Amino acid sequence: MIARMRQHGEVTPAQNYSSKIITRVAIICAMLLDSAAQAADADDSQPSVLQTVLVSVAQPAAEPQASGVFNSANEQIGRAADQVAAETALQIDASPEQSQDLPVIPVGGNEPATSEEAASSHRSNNRFIEEIVVTAQKRVENIQDVPLSVTAFSADSLDAAGVGNVQDLQKVVPGLNYGGTGGYAVVFIRGLGTDAFLFADPSVALYVDGVYFPFSRGTAQSFGAVERVEVLKGPQGTLFGRNAVGGAINVITKDPGPVAETSIQTSYGKYDQSYSRIYTSIPVLDSVAVSLSAYYNTEENYYSGSINNGQPLPREESKGVRLKLKWSPADNVDLVLSGQITEGSGTGTMLEVNNESFPLGTALGITPQKPYHADLDGGVFSTLFDRAYYGRLESRFEEFDLKLLGSYEYVTTGGLFDFDGSPRPIANFSNDINNLYTRARSGELQVTSNANSWSSSWLKWIGGLYYFHNIGAQSPATFDIGNLSALVSDPAILQQLNISLPSTAANIDIYGALKTNAYAGFVQTTVSFTDWLSLTLGGRYSDETRSVEYSYNQVTLAGLPPDPLLTFPTASVSTRSFAPKVSVEVRPATDILFYASWQKAVKNGTFNVLTLYTPPSEVKPETVKAYEVGAKTTLLNGLVRFNAASFYYDDRNLQVQFVSLLNKGAVSFENAAAAKIYGIDADAVVQLFPDLLDDVVITASAEYLHARYTDYTGASQFSPTTGIYNRNGNFDGNQIVRSPTYSGNVGISKTFNLDSGSLELATDVYFTSRYFFLSQNSPISQQDSYRLFNAHVSYLYQRWNTRLTLFGQNLANAEYSLGPLFTDFGRLDHLAAPRTYGLRVNVDF
C-alpha cells in the first residue's frame, strides 16, 4: 500500500488515517510482545496490558468505564501513531528519487508469494539447509544467481559434513580429485589439472580471503574458523585469471565484528587423533575489532613399520594461528589486516611405500610391502613453515566500490624421501627446510559498480589490475644413489633388461631458482536487457615472464672429492595472452536461471630446474577453451534446490610431469598436445515431506566425465614389459589422469527438535569409478573404484550452545591411494586413512 502511495505527489486525509491505523496496530503488537515477555514477573492480581486491551477491544462501547491502564496505554499508542504517521506522510510526499530506497512492506494477502516466502512455513533447522552468498564474480551474490558452476559451504555445513581441510572437500564435491604426492597437493576438477608440482603451478588456484596462495605444498591446511568455502568448477580465466584453468577454491575466513564471540572445537579419535581449534573476536573500539584463530592437530601415523633402519614412524603434527584486525574509520571504509603462520611436521605423503615393483626394482631385491605397512632404510620426514601477511582496503563511494588487496607469503619446506620405497639402500632424496623455499607477493585493485552506479538497474561491471611476483629456489636438494651394482639380487633380470648400473655410490647436489613476474588487467560487465535476459562480456589481458635465475649441480662420488660444478645456462619465457568470456543468462521465473557461457583460460609456461645432467626444460603454456550450459532452480516452494551443468573443454598443451632417473634427471616436464573433455554434473538439496517429517534433508550430487587425450605421442612412459623408461608412448584416446568417469555422493540427515536442543542423525556415501595415475593407463597405475561411508550423531544443548558429535569416517574401510609416485623401481603408494571414529565437541559463546 505504502509502495503504491509513493507514486502520487500528495497524501489524502483518508490515506493519512489509514497510515495511523496500520501504525497503531503495529505498535500494539510491539507492546503486547513486550508485556508477554514480562508476564512471568507480573503481579497476578493486577490485569496485564494484554488482558486489558483484549477486554477493551471486546467491549468498545464501554470505553468510559475502561481502566486507567488502558487509557494510559491508548494515549501513548495514539501519540506514537500520530508521530509515526506524520513522519510516514513526509516520506510518502518525498520525491521519487528520495523514496526509492524506502523499504516496501507488502500489505494484504492477494499477491502471490515467492518461493522463499512460501518456504518460510517449512523453515528447517537442518544444518544442510541454508542460504549461501558467494564472491565467485568478485561481488557478493546469492549462489543461485551466479551463472557458473560453483559449490559452496558455510561453516555449519562444513562441520555437519565432517570437512575440516581442503583435502576433505573431495568427499562432498563430485568432479574434484584432491590428492597428494611427495608432500605436495595434486588437484583436478572435471579432468582439468596437473600432476606437475615441483616448480610448476597448480591448475586449480587456491585463494584465501581473495588472495592467491601459489605454493601447492601449503594448501592442504586446516580451515580454522571460516565463513564459507567456495569451489568454482571449470576455467576462471577472466576474474581469477592466473593458473585457474581448472577452477578455483576460495576460502573466506571470518572477519572480526562489533560483537564479541568465541568458538571452540576439539575432537579425539582413533590413532590418538587430537584436533583442536579456537576462534575469538573482540571489539576494541567502536571502529576497531580484532580476532584470533588458531588450531593444533596431532595424531599417530596410521601406518605401521619403521624408517631409517629401525626408527619408529613420527607423529603427524600441524598448527597455525591467524590474527586479523578490522578498522572502520568511516561508514564507507574498511581496512582488514591479516597475518598467519602455519607449521607442519610428520611424514604426510612423503611416506610412499613400494607396493608393486618394476623388474629393475625386483632385480635390486625389492619385494612389495603389504598395505598400511612401511619398512624403509632411509629417513622419511616432511616439514613446512608458512608465513603470510595480507590486507584488504575497501571504500564504498557513491558511484562505485573500490577494493585494494595485497599479500606477502614466505614458505620454507624440507623433507626426506625414500626414492625406491623399500628397506634397500638404493636411492634417497632430501632437502633441508631452509634450502627449498618460495617467496611471493601480490597486489590487486578492483573497481566495482554498486546500487548507485549509473544505470545500475540494468548494468553491472567490475574492472581491475593485478600484479604477482614469485621466486622459488632449492639450494640445494640432495640426491643420494647407492652402489647399485652391489645391490643386485637377480642378475638374470638385469641381463634381460640390458641395462648397466653404477658401481659407486654418489651424492648429487642440485641447485636452481625460478622467478616469475606477472601483470594483468581485467574487466567484466553484465547488461540486463530485460528482467529475464542478461549478457555478460569479460576479458583479461596477462603478461607473464618466467626466468631461470640459476641452475647447476655438483656430483660427489664415494671416497672422492667433489666434481667441478655442472652449470646450465639461464633462460626465460614470456607469455602474453587474452582470455575472453561471453555468457548469456535467462531467468524465465524468479527462482530459475538458465545460462550458457564460453571462455578461455591460460596457464603460463614454466621450466623444470630439478634436473641432473641436462639444462632445464621448458613446457609450453596450456590453453583451455570452455563451453558450459547450466540451470539453477529452486522448486516446490523452496523445498528442492536442483542445479545442473553440462560442459565441454578443448585443452591444448597439457602440462605433464614424469619422474625417472633415466629421463634427464629425477623429474621432467612435457606437454600433451591436446585433450577433449565433456560431461555433466548436478547437485540437489531436498527437504523431504516437511509436513510429515520435520527436518529430513537429502543431499545428492553426481558427475559424468569423459576426459581423453586426443594428441599425445612421443610421450614418456615406463615400458609395459620391462618397466624401463622410454619416449615411445602413444596415449591418444587414453583417459586423463585422476579423472573418473563417474563420481558422486548421497547423504540423508534428520534433525529432532527437543526441549533442550536438537539431535542430528546423518549418513552419507561418496563413490567414484576407476581412474589412472599415469597417462599411459597401465594396470599398475590404476585406482579401482571405491566407496566411502560416513556417519555421525550430533546433539546440541541449546542452553550452553554446546554440540557433541560422535562421528565415523570410511566406515567400510575402503582402501585407496591419495596419490602414488612412480619411479624406475615401481609404484610407491601412500594410502588414505582407513576406518576412523571419534568424538567432537563444539562450544560457541
**pTM of the predicted structure, to 2 decimals:** 0.83
| β-strand pairing of 782-783 with 821-823 | unpaired
pLDDT, tens only, 453-462: 999 999 999 9
Strands 204-208 and 247-253: parallel
**pLDDT tops 90 at residue 126:** no
Q: Give pLDDT, residue 98.
A: 39
Query: What does the pLDDT read at residue 283?
Result: 96
Cis bond upstream, residue 476 (ω within 30): yes
C-alpha torsion angle, residues 810, 816, 820, 824 (rounded to 10): 150
Q: For the CA atoms of the chain, what is the radius of gyration?
A: 31
Closest CA to 148 of 220, 252, 240, 226: 240
CA dihedral 590, 591, 597, 601 (to 10 degrees): 120
**Length of the chain in residues, anyone?**
845
Q: C-alpha grid cell for residue 607?
A: 621450466
Average pLDDT over residues 160-178: 87
> How far is residue 316's CA from residue 302's CA, in Å, rounded to a whole number?
10
DSSP string, 66-94: --HHHHHHHHHHHHHHHHHHHHHHHHHTS
pLDDT the model gives residue 184: 84
- Structure confidence at residue 6 (pLDDT): 39
pLDDT of residue 72: 41
Please check the confidence at residue 36 and state whether its pLDDT lies above 60: no
pLDDT at 26 (0 to 100): 41
Least confident of 36-50, 486-500, 701-715: 36-50
Residue 793 has pLDDT above 80, yes or no: yes
pLDDT of 83 > 80? The answer is: no
* Residue-wise pLDDT tens digits, 571-581: 999 999 999 99
CA distance 757 to 802: 9
Whether 68 has a pLDDT exceeding 50, the answer reads no
**How many CA atoms lie less than 13 Å away from 54 in the CB half-sphere?**
6
Please give the pLDDT value at position 24: 40
- Please check the confidence at residue 680 and state whether its pLDDT lies above 70: yes
Closest among 348, 351, 313 to 828, alpha carbons compared: 351
Q: Of 169, 172, 192, which Cα lies nearest the Cα of 244?
A: 192
Average pLDDT over residues 47-61: 40
pLDDT of 23 higher than 70: no
Contact of 470 with 439, CB cutoff 8 Å: yes
Q: At what angle do helices 49-58 and 68-92 cross, to 10 degrees?
A: 80
Q: What is the pLDDT of residue 664?
A: 66
CA distance 528 to 536: 9
Q: How many CB atoms lie within 10 A of CB 365?
A: 15
pLDDT digits (tens, 9 = 90+) for 189-227: 999 999 877 778 889 999 999 999 887 665 445 566 788
Mean pLDDT over each residue of the chain, to the nearest integer: 85
Banded pLDDT at 432 (limits 50, 70, 90): confident
Spatial neighbors of 65 by CB under 8 A, at least 6 apart, are none
Alpha-carbon distance of 567 to 544, in angstroms, equals 26
Interacting residues of 501 by C-beta distance below 8 A, sequence separation 6+: 484, 485, 488, 494
Q: How many Cβ atoms sit within 10 Å of the Cβ of residue 817?
A: 21
Residue 64 has pLDDT above 80, yes or no: no
Angle formed at CA 681 by CA 229 and CA 585, multiple of 5 degrees: 80
Q: What is the pLDDT of residue 684?
A: 95
pLDDT given at position 400: 96
What's residue 238's pLDDT?
A: 92
SS3 of 686-711: EECCCCCCCCEEEEEEEEEEEEEEEE
Q: What is the b/e burial string over 739-752, where b = at least 16 CB atoms within 10 angstroms of the residue's CB?
A: bbbebbbebbbbbe
Checking if the pLDDT of 289 tops 90, the result is yes
**What per-residue confidence (pLDDT) applies to 123?**
55
What is the average per-residue pLDDT within 588-603?
A: 95
- On the CB side of 248, how many CA atoms lie within 13 Å of its CA? 29
Compute the average pLDDT of residues 555-560.
Answer: 92
Whether 699 shows a pLDDT value over 90: the answer reads yes
Question: For 488, what's the count of Cα atoms within 13 Å in the CB-facing half-sphere?
Answer: 16
Q: Which three cell numbers stand for residue 427?
A: 636411492
* Whole-angstrom distance, CA of residue 281 vs CA of residue 258: 9
| Mean pLDDT for the stretch of residues 348-373 | 94
Model confidence over 292-341: pLDDT tens digits?
999 999 999 999 999 988 899 999 999 999 999 999 999 999 999 999 99
Going by pLDDT thresholds of 50, 70 and 90, the confidence category of residue 30 is very low
- Most confident of the following: 27-36, 78-87, 530-539, 600-609: 530-539
* pLDDT of 35 above 80: no
Give pLDDT, residue 375. Answer: 95
Please determine, for residue 99, whether its predicted confidence score (pLDDT) is greater than 60: no
Q: pLDDT tens digit string along 722-740?
A: 999 999 999 999 999 999 9
Indicate the range of 281-295, 405-419, 602-616 predicted with least confidence. 602-616
Question: Quick one: pLDDT band at residue 4, thresholds 50, 70, 90?
Answer: very low
Give mean pLDDT, residues 806-832: 95
- Alpha carbon dihedral 119, 120, 122, 123, in 10-degree steps, equals 120
C-alpha cell at 465: 589490475
Q: Can you give the pLDDT at residue 221?
A: 54
pLDDT digits (tens, 9 = 90+) for 625-663: 999 999 999 999 889 999 999 999 999 999 999 999 887
